[in-house]
Chains A and B, each alone.
Chain A
Amino acid sequence: MTIFYFVAFLSIFFALMTIFTKNPVHSVLYLVITFFTFTVHYILLNAQFLAVVNFIVYMGAIMVLFLFVLMLLNLNKEIEPMRSNVVKIMGAVAGMCMLATFLGAFKVLESNNEFVTGNTDVGLVKNLGKVLFDEFLLPFELSSILLLTAMVGAILLAKKETKEA
């Protein structure tokens, strides 16, 4: 349990650092470390597959793309858009809503659930595959179609419109 608290502290610390650093590149790097602590959390929960997928996809690909875009943008303080008060209020309201959701979720959660205690083997690749392609086949396939739609949409947006004369 001490490992859990240590890693949890680290993830919250780096998540806060992500928000509070001024330099966008530093921010992304702290986010990478936060994701790494998440990976450690997954391993502690014996969810090996999830851990390594989080590692590959989030740390290895998505954050690299983030960094990529930030390096190209070359953000300065001067071109930072002014934040209006409306945005701040909306942010506060959204944050409160999320907190309420979390509290509700924690209340419902039973602490003796086998997913919480971490004594389950469902996170191993074999069991996870069986669950995904057996019990949750329909949602799994639907989510893949959703991803495909998103991909097609992205390509459509990126494509130049050819005007017909």
Chain B
Amino acid sequence: MQSLSNRKKVIEQKPMNIWERMYLPAIAKGLSITLKHFFKKIPTIKYPEEIRPYSKNFRGQHSLKRDEQGRERCTACGLCALSCPAEAITMTAAERQKGEENLYREEKYAAVYEINMLRCIFCGLCEEACPKEAIYLDGPHVTAEYLRRDFIYGKDKLVEPKFDITKLNRENA
């Protein structure tokens, strides 16, 4: 067939000469290649001891944030559940009682807040949808479990621990 591109190359297979048929030079060449790799730097990262640096916008496990006074920011508006393309988030809303002002910032709060980590695709749309800046995907990797039900994370795992913001600033400084 005629070559249209002019880049066609006809590969010729010549019968091997005696030097090539001995295979010894070829074996020596192969050995030199493997030996070169023997002394090469190993690119493997030993994971638990060394951790590869994460990207700045890495999206890991969700955490429900608190405000400066340690109150939960979530107001159970349901926008995150609505925006979730994987239908991973469910919640039950409750009204704040008297004397609970130090626990919840808004008058309405999420009594139950569950994320199914098996459904979640870590797209970050909940983060974008939240009007109260209450949910962020800033945690580590979601760990492996033995049972499916252990992948449904409740508030015990999601809400971030209480902290004193003044102390936090001092530590950072």
A and B touch in the complex (CB under 8 A): no
Residues of A within 8 A of B (CB): none
Residues of B within 8 A of A (CB): none
